[in-house]
Amino acid sequence: MLYKKIKNHIALKQITNRLKKRGKKIAFTNGCFDIIHYGHVKYLEDAKKCADILIVAVNSDSSVKRLKGSKRPLYPLRDRMRVIASLSSVDYVTSFGEDTPAEIIRFLKPDLVIKGADYQIKDIVGSDIVKSYGGKVRRIKYIKGYSVTGLIDKIIKRYDR
């Protein structure tokens, strides 16, 4: 089941086209998902409630390094995608190598782009793209106190000898 959820862009485009013809609403979100925590799980569960199908695009290893620094990611893309695919709220997982998901959003044309409420709609990558063809942007409540950087800092403080 896990591997059936992980798709390349071409396969995912074919799947989403078929699903849209059947009237299904497609939502898209993205992230690095380096260490999965409760904030991620709750966010993805809430995102799934907004549509019939939830696609999660995961940043490639090189993209994470550029965005988060040379010590990240802690886990390779393949593992991060497998963990995301294991969540029942997620229907499909793909990856992208750019710093933003703009190109994959443009290619897939989801009905909805979703990010956390810590982002302003105007700052959500792909909001202009999805709105240009009648799609929508939605923000999901951000749960304070959950971040990978914060978790890493906590681990370092707790276990630094």
Largest CA distance in the chain: 58
Give the domain CATH number at 113. 3.40.50.620
pTM: 0.92
How many structural domains compose the chain? 1
First to last CA, the chain: 42
3-state secondary structure 114-148: EEECCCCHHHCCCHHHHHHCCCEEEEECCCCCCCH
- The pLDDT profile of the chain, 161 residues, written as one tens digit per residue, is 677 999 999 999 999 999 999 999 999 999 999 888 888 999 999 999 999 999 999 999 999 999 999 989 999 999 999 999 999 999 999 999 999 999 999 999 999 999 988 878 888 999 999 999 999 999 998 777 777 777 788 888 888 76
Q: Domain residues for 38?
A: 2-159
